[in-house]
Amino acid sequence: MTEFPPHLVQCATCGVERSTDGLPDVCPICADERQYVGEGGQRWVDPADFTGRIELTEREPGLWGIDVLDGVGIGQQAKLIVTDGGNVLFDVPGAITSEAVDAVRRLGDVHGIIASHPHMYGLQSAWSHALGDAPVYVSTLDRTWLGYEPAQLRVWDDTIEIVPGVVASQPGGHFPGSVVVHWSGRDGAGVVLAGDTMFVNPDHETVTFMRSYPNHLPLSGAVAERIAAHVGRYEFDRLYGNFRHRLASGAREKMFASARRHAAWVRGDFDHLTGPG
CATH number at residue 144: 3.60.15.10
Q: What is the pLDDT of residue 5?
A: 83
7 pLDDT higher than 70: yes
Q: Is residue 39 part of a domain?
A: no
Residue 47 inside a domain? The answer is no
Question: Is residue 187 one of the residues assigned to a domain?
Answer: yes
Average pLDDT rounded to a whole number, residues 61-82: 97
* 1 falls within a domain: no
pTM of the model: 0.96
What's the pLDDT band for 277 if we cut at 50, 70, 90?
Answer: confident
- Whether residue 60 has pLDDT greater than 70: yes
Sorting pLDDT into bands at 50, 70 and 90, what band is 6?
Answer: confident
Q: Structural domain tally of the chain?
A: 1
Residue 252 counted as domain residue: yes
Q: Tell me the three-class secondary structure of the chain, residue by residue.
A: CCCCCCCEEEECCCCCEEECCCCCCCCHHHHCCCCCCCCCCCCEECHHHCCCEEEEEEEECCEEEEEEECCCCCCCCEEEECCCCCEEEECCCCCCCHHHHHHHHHCCCEEEEECCCHHHCCCHHHHHHHCCCCCEEEEHHHHHHCCCCCCCEEEECCEEEEECCEEEECCCCCCCCCCEEEECCCCCCCEEEEECCCEECCCCCCEECEEECCCCEECCHHHHHHHHHHHCCCCCCEEEECCCCEECCCHHHHHHHHHHHHHHHHHCCCHHHCCCC
**In this structure, is residue 238 part of a structural domain?**
yes
Containing structural domain, residue 63: 8-32+53-269
Q: Does a structural domain hold residue 3?
A: no
In a domain, 62, yes or no: yes
